[in-house]
Amino acid sequence: MNRKMNLGAPTVEKLKDFQQGVAASPLYDMLGRIIEAPQAYASTDAILGEFRVTLKACKKFTLEEKHELCTALETVMDLLKMEGSDGMLENWLHGILL
């Protein structure tokens, strides 16, 4: 379900703090895009679009790496106060094409 979002300065700071612990990767790049232009992510659909781009860039990850990425994306959802990924993470983890 698409929900309106407002990524204010406190949320952007939380994302920056989280990004500092992330190695150079598609996840790091995704966080950078959101941090640089939070106004472009005014809905959950926009954020999930970024998730989709990131997951596609990581399709050759091992199962362990996939679990780690999903855990990191769940942390991002928590920081953004999102209720879920509409099944996207679970589908990707089990090999269902996005």
Per-residue pLDDT of the chain (98 residues; tens, 9 = 90+): 789 998 999 999 999 999 999 999 999 999 999 999 999 999 999 999 999 999 999 989 999 999 999 999 999 999 999 999 999 999 999 887 66
Helix, strand, coil percent content, the chain, rounded in steps of 5: 65, 0, 35
- What's the rounded Cα separation, in Å, for the pair 89 and 33? 20
Phi-psi region of 60 (alpha: psi -120 to 50; beta: other; left: phi over 0): alpha
* pLDDT at residue 95, as a whole number: 85
* pLDDT at residue 96, as a whole number: 79
* pLDDT at residue 49, as a whole number: 96
* pLDDT at residue 98, as a whole number: 64
Output the CA angle 58-53-89, nearest 5 degrees. 70
> Where do the structural domains in the chain lie, given as residue ranges?
9-93
Is the sign of the CA dihedral 45, 1, 51, 32 positive or negative? positive
pTM: 0.93
* pLDDT at residue 19, as a whole number: 97
